[in-house]
Amino acid sequence: MDIIEKMLTDPEKGPVKSMSEIGACGHRVVHGGEAFTGSVIVNEELEKVIEQYSELAPLHNPPNLTGIRAVGVIMGSVPQVVCFDTAFHQSIPEVAYLYALPHEMYERYKVRRYGFHGTSHRFVARRAAELLGKGKYDVNLITCHLGNGCSITAVREGRSVDTSMGLTPLEGVVMGTRSGDVDPAVIFHLVRKGYKLEELDTIFNKRSGLLGISGVSNDVRDLEKKAAEGHEKCRLALDIFAYRIRKYIGAYMAVLNGCDAVVFTGGIGENGIAMRKRILENMENIGIRLDNYKNRAVSGREGEIHKKDSRVKLLVIPTDEEGAIARDTYEIVVEKVT
């Protein structure tokens, strides 16, 4: 926060002369559990909730809370707003968020699907509605946030109704270093083979996914280069990554009974021309027709990549989580003041 303060107030490049010019501060916090369905003002109760869910997001919530408290030290009583990654997914129904475990595990420990990347999925869903000329609650979409962390969300009438990440960000599609979906019995098997739970936690979160399959990198760009040179495991990693995402798109097409558009965002979703082709090819029978020329022309910017006769639109929308947080913060603080 000291570094940020110096950047913001830099005499030549800073946007403000003093931190006192800043009227509010917005934060992204990963896990808010079932407590919040939208962005909220920071208070003592909120900080306790963030601490409570640190157990489920140990890599994210504690640093998030540290940032909130540091702002309090530097900026005093300036209003702070928290945007939870889980909030957009609180509209998911029981049939989608409950696991087939003894119900007491949900009742006692709140073990359920929460979903993540909600700020990103919400932003691109709202922008997609604008591009399609529809109201924000008049669209059915499949939004694909693809980066080092990846998640797919089914959006019905503008609201999240299912998403690939679960209790933690480990579930779902293959990611940069996360395994995504696996048979839970794999863990039991490996424990019997002598692995410790802490070791498996590290393996599944930090040494699996694209990195684990390829043995080379978690970066799609590196893998595509190596695959072109004949590296078989890099090619396999890319194919598995695309296949798992395609499976989720197909599943959510069934959940939604068709959709208006499939939306790609995140570092890979926005820039991965070859990966988008891997994911979307040979899906014509479910209404998805990729235009290869348009796909090659859209990298790092907003655009359409579908053929004219595609029943399902294919959109690339750069996410703007910072902008979404800033808008929420402004609206909440102004509303409170007025």
Active-site amino acid positions: 85
Measured CA distances, 268 to 177, 255, 289 (Å): 14, 25, 20
- Interatomic CA distance for residues 165 and 244, integer angstroms: 13
- Interatomic CA distance for residues 61 and 71, integer angstroms: 15
DSSP helix/strand/coil, 220? helix
Beta bridge partners of 142: 154, 262
- Interatomic CA distance for residues 184 and 163, integer angstroms: 19
Amino acid present at 106? Y
Nearest to 239 by CA among 231, 52, 23: 231
Q: How many CB atoms lie within 10 A of CB 133?
A: 8
